[in-house]
Structure 1
Amino acid sequence: MAGEVVAHAAEAAHHGVDLVPVVALLAAGAIAVPIFRRIGLGSVLGYLAAGLLLGPSGTGLISDPASVLAAAELGVVLFLFIIGLEMEPSRLWALRKQIFGLGIIQVATCGALLTGIGVLLGFAPVVAFVFGMGFVLTSTAIVMQILGERGEMSTEGGQKMVSILLLEDLAIVPLLAVVSLLAPSTDDVSMLTRLVSLGIAVGAILLLIFLGRRIMNPFFSLLAQARVREVMTAAALLVVLGAALLFQVSGLSMAMGAFLAGVLLSTSAFKHQLEADVEPFRGLLLGLFFLAVGMSLDLAVVVDSWQIIALSVVAYMLVKAAAIYVIARLMRSGHGEALERAVLMGQGGEFAFVLYTTAAASGLIDAPTNAIFTATVIISMVLTPFTIIGMRYLMPRAVESMDGVEPADDLSAKVLIIGFGRFGQIVSQPLLALHHTVSIIDNDTDMIRAAAQIGFKVYYGDGTRLDILRAAGAATADLILVCTDKREQTTRIVELLRDEFPLARVMARAFDRSHGIELMRHGVDFQIRETFESALQFGSEAVTLLGATDEEAAEVLEGVRGRDRQRFERQLAGEDWRNLSQLLISNAQDQAREGGVSVSEESAEAAASQSARPAQTS
Structure 2
Amino acid sequence: MHNEFVQVIVLMVIAVGLIWLLKRMGLPPILSYIVTGIIAGPDVMALFEQPEQMHLLAEVGIVFLLFSLGLEFSLPKLVAMRHMVFGVGAGQVILTTLVFWGGALLIGLPGNAALVIGGMIALSSTAIVIKQVAEMGILHNQRTQLAISVLLFQDLAVVPFLIAIPLMSPLTEGSFAVAISLALLKGVTVVTILLAAGKWGLPLLFREVASTRTDELFVLTTIVVALLAAGLTYWFGLSMALGAFLAGMMLSESQYRYQLEADIRPFRDMLMGLFFVTVGMQLNLNYLQESWYWVIIATVAVLALKVVLMQLVSWLFKVASRDSWAAAFKLCQIGEFSFVLAALAVTHQVLTTQVASFIISVGILSMALTPYLIEHSMRFARLLSSRNLVSSLNDSGSLSKTVEALKNHVVVVGFGRVGQSSARMLKLEGIEFVAIDSDPIRVQESRAAGENIIFGDATHKDILRSANLNAARLVLITFDQPDKVSKLISVAKELQPEIKVIVRIRKDNQLNSLYEAGATQVVPELQEGSLMLISQLLHYSGVPMSRILKRVRAERKGRYDHMHGFYPGETTEINPNTQDKLEFMHPVIVTANAFATGKSLNQLNLSKLRVVLKGLRRNHHEIDNPQGDEVIHTGDVLIVAGKPRRVERAERFILEGD
- Pair in the same fold by TM > 0.5: yes
Which runs of structure 2 are paired with 1:419-568 in the superposition (5 Å)? 539=523, 543-545=527-529, 549=533, 551=535, 554=549, 555-559=551-555
Looking at structure 1, the residues matched to 114 and 367 of structure 2 have their Cα atoms a distance apart, in angstroms, of 20
Structure 2 counterpart of 1:58: 44
Structure 1 counterpart of 2:329: 343
Structure 2 counterpart of 1:260: 246
Looking at structure 2, the residues matched to 591 and 333 of structure 1 have their Cα atoms a distance apart, in angstroms, of 74
Structure 2 counterpart of 1:91: 77
Q: Find the residue that maps to 1:549 and give its secondary structure.
A: helix
1:296 partner letter: Q
Structure 2 counterpart of 1:177: 163
Looking at structure 2, the residues matched to 296 and 58 of structure 1 have their Cα atoms a distance apart, in angstroms, of 12
2:275 partner letter: F
Q: 1:589 to 1:322 in 2, by over 3 A?
A: farther
1:539 partner letter: V
Structure 1 counterpart of 2:34: 48
Looking at structure 1, the residues matched to 372 and 361 of structure 2 have their Cα atoms a distance apart, in angstroms, of 17
Which runs of structure 2 are paired with 1:203-214 in the superposition (5 Å)? 203-214=189-200
Which runs of structure 2 are paired with 1:240-259 in the superposition (5 Å)? 240-259=226-245
Structure 2 counterpart of 1:154: 140
Q: 1:247 to 1:560 in 2, by over 3 A?
A: same
Looking at structure 2, the residues matched to 395 and 592 of structure 1 have their Cα atoms a distance apart, in angstroms, of 69
Which runs of structure 2 are paired with 1:110-129 in the superposition (5 Å)? 110-129=96-115
Structure 2 counterpart of 1:106: 92
Q: Find the residue that maps to 1:539 and give its secondary structure.
A: strand
Aligned pair count?
Answer: 441
Q: 1:193 to 1:99 in 2, by over 3 A?
A: closer
Cα displacement (A) at 1:293: 0.8
Looking at structure 2, the residues matched to 199 and 342 of structure 1 have their Cα atoms a distance apart, in angstroms, of 34
- 8 Å CA contact 2:40–2:48 kept in 1: the answer is yes
Looking at structure 2, the residues matched to 154 and 334 of structure 1 have their Cα atoms a distance apart, in angstroms, of 17
Paired residue for 2:62, among 71, 76, 79? 76
Looking at structure 2, the residues matched to 257 and 390 of structure 1 have their Cα atoms a distance apart, in angstroms, of 33
Looking at structure 1, the residues matched to 56 and 253 of structure 2 have their Cα atoms a distance apart, in angstroms, of 31
Q: Are 1:145 and 2:141 counterparts?
A: no
Q: Are 1:318 and 2:304 counterparts?
A: yes
Query: What's the CA shift string for 1:247-301, capped at 9, x where partnerless?
Result: 1121211111001001111223433332232121111111111111112211012
Structure 1 counterpart of 2:261: 275
Q: 1:122 to 1:225 in 2, by over 3 A?
A: same
Looking at structure 2, the residues matched to 537 and 186 of structure 1 have their Cα atoms a distance apart, in angstroms, of 73
Looking at structure 1, the residues matched to 387 and 97 of structure 2 have their Cα atoms a distance apart, in angstroms, of 37
Runs of 5+ unmatched residues, structure 2: 389-406, 410-471, 473-497, 500-514, 539-547, 560-606, 616-624, 626-638, 644-658
Structure 2 counterpart of 1:23: 9
Question: More deviation in 358-367 or 301-310?
Answer: 301-310
Looking at structure 2, the residues matched to 46 and 60 of structure 1 have their Cα atoms a distance apart, in angstroms, of 18
1:65 partner letter: P
Runs of 5+ unmatched residues, structure 1: 1-9, 402-420, 424-484, 486-510, 513-530, 564-584, 600-618
2:332 partner letter: G
Structure 1 counterpart of 2:154: 168
Q: 1:354 to 1:41 in 2, by over 3 A?
A: same
Structure 2 counterpart of 1:217: 203
Looking at structure 1, the residues matched to 209 and 26 of structure 2 have their Cα atoms a distance apart, in angstroms, of 44
1:241 partner letter: L
Q: 1:226 to 1:108 in 2, by over 3 A?
A: same
Cα displacement (A) at 1:121: 4.1
Cα displacement (A) at 1:80: 1.1
Q: Are 1:32 and 2:18 counterparts?
A: yes
Q: 1:393 to 1:232 in 2, by over 3 A?
A: closer
Structure 2 counterpart of 1:404: none
Q: Are 1:239 and 2:225 counterparts?
A: yes
Structure 2 counterpart of 1:195: 181
2:226 partner letter: V
Cα displacement (A) at 1:233: 2.2
Q: 1:136 to 1:422 in 2, by over 3 A?
A: closer
Q: Are 1:364 and 2:342 counterparts?
A: no
- 8 Å CA contact 2:531–2:552 kept in 1: the answer is no
Which runs of structure 2 are paired with 1:366-445 in the superposition (5 Å)? 366-388=352-374, 394-396=380-382
- 8 Å CA contact 2:167–2:176 kept in 1: the answer is no
Looking at structure 1, the residues matched to 526 and 77 of structure 2 have their Cα atoms a distance apart, in angstroms, of 40
Cα displacement (A) at 1:340: 2.2
Question: More deviation in 217-226 or 360-369?
Answer: 217-226
Cα displacement (A) at 1:176: 2.4
Q: 1:276 to 1:285 in 2, by over 3 A?
A: same
**Aligned-CA RMSD value:** 3.8
Structure 2 counterpart of 1:527: none
Question: More deviation in 187-196 or 163-172?
Answer: 187-196
Looking at structure 2, the residues matched to 148 and 170 of structure 1 have their Cα atoms a distance apart, in angstroms, of 22
Q: 1:252 to 1:35 in 2, by over 3 A?
A: same
Q: Find the residue that maps to 1:82 and give its secondary structure.
A: helix
Cα displacement (A) at 1:42: 1.1
Q: 1:162 to 1:549 in 2, by over 3 A?
A: same
Cα displacement (A) at 1:186: 5.5
Q: Are 1:291 and 2:277 counterparts?
A: yes
Cα displacement (A) at 1:55: 1.4
Query: What's the CA shift string for 1:435-466, capped at 9, x where partnerless?
Result: xxxxxxxxxxxxxxxxxxxxxxxxxxxxxxxx
The structure in which a higher percent of residues are helix is 1
Looking at structure 2, the residues matched to 233 and 351 of structure 1 have their Cα atoms a distance apart, in angstroms, of 27
- 8 Å CA contact 1:544–1:550 kept in 2: the answer is no
- 8 Å CA contact 1:81–1:260 kept in 2: the answer is yes
Q: 1:122 to 1:546 in 2, by over 3 A?
A: farther
Q: 1:172 to 1:539 in 2, by over 3 A?
A: same
Structure 2 counterpart of 1:496: none
1:282 partner letter: R
- 8 Å CA contact 2:22–2:29 kept in 1: the answer is yes
Looking at structure 2, the residues matched to 155 and 175 of structure 1 have their Cα atoms a distance apart, in angstroms, of 31
Query: What's the CA shift string for 1:182-222, capped at 9, x where partnerless?
Result: 32235223755543333222211111122222222333344
2:13 partner letter: A
Looking at structure 1, the residues matched to 642 and 88 of structure 2 have their Cα atoms a distance apart, in angstroms, of 70
Percent of counterpart pairs with the same letter? 30
Looking at structure 2, the residues matched to 558 and 227 of structure 1 have their Cα atoms a distance apart, in angstroms, of 42
Looking at structure 2, the residues matched to 334 and 546 of structure 1 have their Cα atoms a distance apart, in angstroms, of 61
TM-score, normalised via structure 2 length: 0.60
Cα displacement (A) at 1:542: 7.2
Cα displacement (A) at 1:67: 2.1
Cα displacement (A) at 1:173: 1.0
Looking at structure 2, the residues matched to 186 and 292 of structure 1 have their Cα atoms a distance apart, in angstroms, of 30
Q: 1:312 to 1:123 in 2, by over 3 A?
A: farther
Looking at structure 2, the residues matched to 116 and 220 of structure 1 have their Cα atoms a distance apart, in angstroms, of 50
Q: 1:109 to 1:39 in 2, by over 3 A?
A: same
Q: 1:139 to 1:230 in 2, by over 3 A?
A: same
- 8 Å CA contact 1:592–1:598 kept in 2: the answer is no
Cα displacement (A) at 1:166: 0.4
Which runs of structure 2 are paired with 1:574-613 in the superposition (5 Å)? 597-598=641-642
